[in-house]
Amino acid sequence: MKDSQKGTPVVVKMEDPNFSVVKINGADAAFRPVDKNRGKNAKQVRWVLLLKAHRAVGCVTWLVTVLWDLLGAIKKRLVRRQGVAVEKGKLLFRIISLFLLISLAVLAFEVVAYFQGWHFGNTNLHIPHTSDFQRLFHMVYVAWLTFRADYIAPPIQALSKFCIVLFLIQSVDRMLLCFGWFWIKFKKVKPMINGDPFKVDDVEGSLCIYPMVLVQIPMCNEKEVYEQSISAVCQMDWPRDRLLIQVLDDSDDESIQWLIKAEVSKWNQKGINIIYRHRLVRTGYKAGNLNSAMSCDYVNDYEFVAIFDADFQPNPDFLKQTVPHFKDNPELGLVQARWSFVNKDENLLTRLQNINLCFHFEVEQQVNGVFLNFFGFNGTAGVWRIKALEESGGWLERTTVEDMDIAVRAHLNGWKFIFLNDVKVLCEVPESYEAYRKQQHRWHSGPMQLFRLCLPAILKSKVSPWKKANLILLFFLLRKLILPFYSFTLFCIILPLTMFVPEAELPLWLICYVPVCMSILNILPAPKSFPFIVPYLLFENTMSVTKFNAMVSGLFQLGSSYEWIVTKKAGRSSESDLLAAAERETESIEHQKIHRGASDSGLVELQQLKELKEAVPEPVKKANKIYKKELTLAFLLLTACVRSLLSAQGVHFYFLFFQGMTFFLVGLDLIGEQMS
């Protein structure tokens, strides 16, 4: 082929007709748009197909790797049975198991009908005359559809409507709390201290303005955290002659008792007014421990008492930020500080707990403190007026939520509370699911115990009808009873049942839109946790089983409602804690040099205690539990998920699938750290 234009001619020989020829007439021709309809190069097509195949293989490889890791974790818990403890199931487990067996039978029945081409909702089915077995199966199937529509769907619809009403009421309450929180943020409302309460003109009498404060640290076998807690409290910025620290040790392990004694002795030699108390008979758990300590004669010399659990580490200025609020406010009985978590980013479980607790403190506690002057005492990181404790009856051993008990009784006696959102105390959240589950069981069974016990006192009290309604309807019923009831019943029982009973189908907004909106409201106080909104929603529904079971056991006073198990801690420390520990170690060396002339017996005792501390073996990790209720619910939800495929329900399928997988992972204890 010759070109008549100027320039060097180009000759191209075509051997493969699949190739196309593009004639370039100038420098700008290469940048002209290419016709999309022209034929593609066979090699290009082949490379494109190979690239797509490579991506597909990579995706399949990733899925296989994830599945292999999951199967490995399952094998660790199911095949290697040594040390694996299986949770004992009771009435709730049997009910869930019954639902699972029925759903499996119905699923198998309807799968056969599906392959026969029968429509699930049509009772006027007509099939050609074939075998007697098929006609009999058809009659049974039509009878099942009629029975389902007439007798099963109505009660499920009634129960679902009741739960929907409760869900909407609780959602309105949650929205009102968030509106109150927004108003507090917008108006910048917070408790203020008038002037400088510690500033006086008389220098010689300046110490007299500091009230006498008693600090209590209740603990029981807290080997991992006792040292940092005692150390933080002993470094509080408060006159030493106006402060007394009580270490209330209920440990039944003698080695731990000696370790705590050594720590108390170390700070005592530094001039800190600290004493060690140990009860021979541990009755009443924490309430009995606090009540025993308050019965000491020297407590009468003190005006306020601050309480810190063994894993709490207050800042040195904690008392100076809290105690001044009591000045010129004789009706104030409690000042509560906020918790801050040193291990909130340790794993997925701690991140999800941080979302819940941030909402509890920043929204629930703050809003109730500003608008009602009342909230539930959190049991730690708070300062009480001792007179308020005494007039309210002191610490009682009748429930496992002694903190909520004393708060309700103090509120009925006319005492006011203040919540300080700006004052934060470092602590830990449980890092293992087993510890978190036991903690949540106690936190949800105790309030129902207390509700039964204090309901007559609330009705007979002289407080205003508004305060009575707030305590009964909002504080107890709505937030402690209704929330776990509808969450478990609606999303874990009714929703999977509606897959087998389409006549009682739940609306889409109830499954998707409202729960997502409520989750967004819950996560607002912790905006950095927004990437975890979907795991949070799924995990909260999973925890509804534990909370519902605990609520029922507390309401009907079952045996597990009185169970108190100390939440295991890991002894995490922040970076500032580690720096402070290094400084204390240096000071300890200098202190030993200064007190070289101390008694030989005291030095020998401290040396023996130090050797004992080093000799205590580290806890050995054990295999985690298998939770039967969660696993059974996982199979129930996944069975309903398969059933939703037959009726082509898209959103229901995705929700049931991911919720079922969440139950499955939690049931095998694949979330959080291992218990030690």
| Total Cβ atoms within 10 A of residue 61 | 10
Pair 440, 557 in one domain:
yes
Pair 352, 442 in one domain:
no
Do the strands 304-307 and 274-278 form a parallel or antiparallel pair, or are they unpaired? unpaired
Mean pLDDT calculated for residue range 164-191: 94
Reported pTM: 0.80
Mean pLDDT calculated for residue range 366-395: 96
User: What percent of the chain lies above the pLDDT cut of 70?
Assistant: 77
Q: What is each CA distance from 220 to 225, 428, 620, in whole angstroms?
A: 11, 16, 19
Mean pLDDT calculated for residue range 77-89: 49
Pair 261, 180 in one domain:
no
Please give the structure tokens belonging to residue 584: 């204390």
Rounded distance, CA 15 to CA 166, Å?
78
Burial class (CB in 10 A: 0-12, 13-18, 19+), 2: exposed
| 130 inside domain | no
- Average of per-residue pLDDT values in the chain: 82
pLDDT of residue 30: 46
Pair 112, 219 in one domain:
no
Rounded distance, CA 538 to CA 534, Å?
6
Higher local confidence (pLDDT), 583 or 190: 190
Hey, is 668 helix, strand or coil?
A: coil
| 149 inside domain | no
| 580 inside domain | no
Higher local confidence (pLDDT), 644 or 634: 634
Catalytic residue numbers?
250, 403
- Label residue 74 by pLDDT band (50, 70, 90): low
Mean pLDDT calculated for residue range 123-145: 71
Q: What secondary structure does DSSP assign to 515-560, as a single string?
A: HHHHHHHHHTTSGGGGGGHHHHHHHHHHHHHHHHHHHHHHHTT-GG
Task: Let me know: does 273 contact 244? Beta carbons within 8 Å.
Answer: yes
pLDDT of residue 524: 93
Rounded distance, CA 115 to CA 88, Å?
40
**Model confidence at 362: pLDDT above 80:** yes
Please give the structure tokens belonging to residue 582: 């290094």
* Helix (H) or strand (E) segment spanning residue 276: strand 274-278
The angle formed by the CA atoms of residues 410, 444 and 563, to the nearest 5 degrees, is 95
Mean pLDDT calculated for residue range 443-451: 94
Pair 483, 630 in one domain:
yes
pLDDT of residue 651: 82
pLDDT of residue 143: 85
pLDDT tens, 530-587? Answer: 999 999 999 999 999 999 999 999 998 877 667 777 777 776 665 445 445 445 444 5
pLDDT of residue 141: 81
pLDDT tens, 15-64? Answer: 544 444 444 454 454 445 545 455 556 666 677 777 777 777 777 777 67
pLDDT of residue 455: 95
Pair 451, 539 in one domain:
yes
| 63 inside domain | no
- Label residue 204 by pLDDT band (50, 70, 90): low
Task: Let me know: does 523 contact 529? Beta carbons within 8 Å.
Answer: yes
Task: Let me know: does 626 contact 87? Beta carbons within 8 Å.
Answer: yes
Residue type at position 378? N
- Distant-in-sequence, close-in-space partners of 89: CB < 8 Å, separation ≥ 6: 97, 628, 629
| Total Cβ atoms within 10 A of residue 339 | 22
Buried b (16+ CB within 10 A) or exposed e, 120-135: eeeeeeeeeeeeeeee
Size (the chain), residues: 676
pLDDT of residue 428: 94
Q: What is each CA distance from 603 to 268, 523, 599, 600, 665, in whole angstroms?
A: 13, 53, 7, 5, 52
Mean pLDDT calculated for residue range 482-486: 92
**Model confidence at 485: pLDDT above 80:** yes
Pair 297, 184 in one domain:
no
pLDDT of residue 50: 74
**Model confidence at 291: pLDDT above 80:** yes
Q: What secondary structure does DSSP assign to 117-138, as a single string?
A: T--TT-S-----S--HHHHHHH
**Model confidence at 380: pLDDT above 50:** yes
Taking each helix axis from N to C terminus, what angle separates 628-646 and 91-115, rounded to the nearest 10 degrees? 20
| 356 inside domain | yes
Pair 400, 453 in one domain:
no
| Total Cβ atoms within 10 A of residue 257 | 16
- Label residue 646 by pLDDT band (50, 70, 90): confident
Higher local confidence (pLDDT), 523 or 605: 523
Backbone phi, then psi, for 85, in 5-degree steps?
A: -100, 130
Taking each helix axis from N to C terminus, what angle separates 91-115 and 533-555, rounded to the nearest 10 degrees? 130
Pair 423, 443 in one domain:
no
Q: Which has the minimum average pLDDT: 278-282, 524-528, 597-601, 614-618?
A: 597-601
Using the 3D structure, point to which of 429, 463, 490 is the last residue of a domain.
Answer: 429
Q: What secondary structure does DSSP assign to 389-435, as a single string?
A: HHHTT----SSS-HHHHHHHHHHHTT-EEEEEEEEEEEE----BHHH
Using the 3D structure, point to which of 376, 402, 429 is the last residue of a domain.
Answer: 429
Rounded distance, CA 406 to CA 432, Å?
30
| 524 inside domain | yes
| 30 inside domain | no
Pair 300, 412 in one domain:
yes
pLDDT tens, 293-331? Answer: 999 999 999 999 999 999 999 999 999 999 999 998 999
| 153 inside domain | no
- Label residue 126 by pLDDT band (50, 70, 90): low
- Distant-in-sequence, close-in-space partners of 127: CB < 8 Å, separation ≥ 6: 116, 118, 134, 135, 138
How many domains in the chain?
A: 2
Q: What secondary structure does DSSP assign to 284-329, as a single string?
A: SHHHHHHHHHHTSGGGGG-SEEEE--TT-B--TTHHHHHGGGGTT-
Residue type at position 76? K
Domain around 253: 213-429
Q: Which has the minimum average pLDDT: 136-150, 372-386, 413-427?
A: 136-150
Tell me which long-range contacts 132-140 makes (C-beta under 8 A, separation of at least 24).
Answer: 137/112, 137/113
Rounded distance, CA 46 to CA 482, Å?
62
Using the 3D structure, point to which of 429, 458, 488 is the last residue of a domain.
Answer: 429
Pair 641, 566 in one domain:
yes
Pair 414, 445 in one domain:
no
Nearest to 289 by CA among 388, 207, 394: 394
Mean pLDDT calculated for residue range 202-227: 82
Output the domain CATH number for residue 311. 3.90.550.10
**Model confidence at 13: pLDDT above 80:** no
pLDDT of residue 453: 94
- Label residue 598 by pLDDT band (50, 70, 90): very low
